[in-house]
């Protein structure tokens, strides 16, 4: 049985009893809970008690959140959330790229950006957005690509962790097809597996779970990007220098043969 995806008051709930989750967001890790959440934060949001904040928002939206249920935060309004389903997998995504994280593959440093950082960037994943003064109707500021992916197959912890990697790879492919960036500074993934499902020992790209997961995440991310930017009032940035926030990772490394 597929999970139930619902949105209310800026909160998305993906609910299915008997699910084991793995989250890369705040307070992440493995958890057994009947639901996972994606929560939009308002303009000017500055809370630091994240778990308490999520509990309040989920309750205000009319959902019953178990204490262990994972949650992600984003500045992207939930009206731009999109879901995709194929085979055993369902994925839901919200996507915004006002804080791109560029990873140049050429040897020369990109022109017009500072090395490794642009002022205002957040240091790592799932940090909240601050709002966008250009459009007061949307809780948009620093973009985030949040993905929730679920399968009705029973995965062990290793295969569930690999599903996170598969989802991140698909997110990157979708972003690179639409933008110049593989991700943003705050991307996060929550992957879930039904504990009562048929066992699946692997979740790689060549498996039924991994193949469906790749397709679902790709299409959900692409559809959310289209929903958020299709109106034309907020263009997709072509470079980090064109975005409000972001980072460019162009530091040098020592490559060696082990």
- Burial profile 3-32: b = 16 or more Cβ within 10 angstroms, e = fewer: bebebeebbbbbbbeebbbbbbbbebeebe
Residue 240 has what pLDDT?
86
Q: Is 112 exposed, middle or buried (0-12, 13-18, 19+ CB in 10 A)?
A: exposed
> What's the CATH number for 4-248?
3.60.70
Per-residue pLDDT tens listing for the chain (258 residues): 889 999 999 999 999 999 999 999 999 999 999 999 999 998 778 899 999 999 999 999 999 999 899 999 999 999 999 999 999 999 999 999 988 999 998 755 444 444 343 333 333 344 333 333 333 333 334 679 999 999 999 999 999 999 999 999 999 999 999 998 999 999 999 999 999 999 999 999 999 999 999 999 999 999 999 999 886 657 888 888 878 788 999 899 999 999
| Pairwise CA distance, residues 237 & 244, whole Å | 9
The structural domains of the chain, with segments of one domain joined by +, span 4-248
Residue 245 has what pLDDT?
82
Residue 119 has what pLDDT?
34
| Phi and psi, residue 75, nearest 5° | -90, -5
Residue 142 has what pLDDT?
64
Residue 134 has what pLDDT?
31
């Amino acid at each position: 049985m597929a999970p139930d995806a619902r949105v209310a008051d800026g909160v998305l709930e993906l609910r299915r009893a008997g699910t084991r989750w793995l989250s890369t967001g705040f307070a992440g890790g493995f958890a057994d809970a009947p639901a996972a959440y994606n929560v939009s934060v308002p303009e000017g949001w500055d809370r630091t008690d994240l778990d308490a904040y999520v509990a309040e928002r989920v309750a205000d939206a009319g959902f019953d959140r178990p204490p262990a249920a994972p949650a992600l935060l984003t500045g992207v309004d939930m009206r731009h959330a999109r879901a995709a389903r194929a085979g055993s997998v369902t994925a839901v995504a919200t996507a915004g790229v006002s804080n791109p994280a560029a990873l140049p593959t050429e040897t020369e440093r990109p022109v017009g950006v500072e090395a490794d950082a642009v002022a205002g960037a957040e240091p790592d994943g799932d940090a909240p957005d601050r709002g966008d003064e250009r459009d007061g109707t949307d809780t948009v500021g620093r973009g985030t690509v949040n993905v929730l992916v679920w399968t009705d197959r029973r995965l062990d912890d290793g295969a569930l962790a690999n599903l996170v990697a598969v989802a991140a790879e698909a997110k990157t492919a979708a972003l690179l097809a639409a933008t110049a960036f593989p991700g943003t500074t705050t991307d996060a993934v929550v992957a879930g597996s039904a504990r009562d499902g048929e066992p699946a020992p692997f979740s790689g790209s060549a498996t039924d779970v991994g193949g469906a997961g790749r397709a679902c995440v790709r299409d959900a991310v692409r559809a959310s990007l289209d929903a958020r930017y299709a109106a034309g009032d907020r263009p997709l940035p072509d470079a980090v220098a064109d975005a409000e926030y972001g980072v460019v990772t162009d530091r040098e490394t020592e490559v060696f043969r082990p």
